[in-house]
Amino acid sequence: MEFRPLSLEDKKYFDNWFRHMQPKISEFTFTNLYIWQKAQGILWTPWKEGALLLREENGKKVLLPPVGFQDCERVFQEVVEIAKQQGISAIIRIPEWAKRFLPKGGRLIAERDHFDYVYKAQQLAELKGWRLDGKRAFVRKFRESYPDWQFVLYHERFQEGCKHLLAEWVSQREEMRGVKEEQEAILTLLHQWDVLKVDGGVLLVQGKVVAFSFGEKLSETTFVTHFEKADTSYTGAYQMINQQMAQHIIAPSYLFVNREQDLGIEGIRKAKKSYAPLKLVKKYRYEIG
């Protein structure tokens, strides 16, 4: 089988497949696959009425779940056979509902570091309840400290401001795992935002970009937030951009927001838990026997 890189011309095919699939996992948007393809070695090939996705993991080739199919039991069995023929040892990021379609003989492992965090959109917009007292306090502090703040929908005129903020964020974390790869993914999104048709917002203080956030439709009920960065010298900037995105972009159109995984990084896990998630979207790894 010949796998190839994703191009922007492929977007229409993946958008159609995902529209029919109504994905649960955050990986399954064209934008996510496209902007991470270099860092993760993502390739794809048309197959039957859908597609197969290949990616690298620790120097080895693995498959993502097949895209664009309804008869999942038949498809997963065939994909496992293809994997064996191609010398591929695993299928990763398998959602919970698909476990029952996997053939016997393999080893199923929960990928906790890749579970997605899902929240009620209205809860993030309103920050009601004792569990979010601290978030409301940070938002209040931001409003009091920077009375001339603005939240504005992203436009290319804010690109340089976002790049500058991103560069500062990277400079403070250069030794952390995956930071350079994330920087590259965000830059790809910024350069192609109009073609990718993502939703974005920026937080301004005296015209300066102090936070930004980007995401898009995952399903009819759920928005997925791909990136959220803020200048932490502005107290409450992270909490404020989170709430403003929920108020102005997410909650008016969606019931839920998927804020992706924590990658097993303790600080990120603590932050995601602190927003009182409604549920975790479980994902599994299937090692082929």
Residue type, 29: T
**8-115 is a CATH 3.40.630.30 domain:** yes
Nearest CA to 68 among 16, 31, 108?
Answer: 16
Tell me the average pLDDT of the chain.
96
Summarize pLDDT for 2-56 with one digit per residue, the tens.
999 999 999 999 999 999 999 999 999 999 999 999 999 999 999 999 999 999 9
Q: Is the pLDDT of residue 73 over 80?
A: no
Q: Is the pLDDT of residue 174 over 90?
A: no
- Which secondary-structure segment (H or E) carries 119? strand 116-120
Q: In what order do the strands lie in the sheet with 279-281?
A: 149-153, 199-205, 208-217, 222-230, 256-258, 116-120, 279-281
Distance CA 161, CA 55 (A): 32
Q: Which residues of 119-141 are buried (b: 16+ CB within 10 A; e: fewer)?
A: bbbbbbbebeeeebeebeebbee
Summarize pLDDT for 152-164 with one digit per residue, the tens.
999 999 999 999 9
CB contact set of 197 (below 8 Å; sequence gap of 6+): 216
Q: Which residues of 227-243 are buried (b: 16+ CB within 10 A; e: fewer)?
A: bbbbbeebebbbbbbbb
Summarize pLDDT for 100-150 with one digit per residue, the tens.
999 998 999 999 999 999 999 999 999 999 999 999 999 999 999 999 999
Q: In terms of residues, how long is the chain?
A: 289
Return the structure tokens found at 183. 């920087």
Across the range 247-263, mean pLDDT stands at 98
Q: Is the pLDDT of residue 71 over 70?
A: no
In the chain, domain spans: 8-115, 116-260
Q: What is 116-260's CATH number?
A: 3.40.630.30
Percent over 70 (pLDDT), the chain = 99
Do the domains spanning 8-115 and 116-260 agree at the CATH topology level? Answer: yes
Percent over 90 (pLDDT), the chain = 92
Residue type, 266: E
Question: What are the helix and strand counts (H, E) for the chain?
Answer: 9, 13
Q: Please, what sign has the CA dihedral across residues 157, 190, 227, 178?
A: negative
Return the structure tokens found at 122. 């209205």
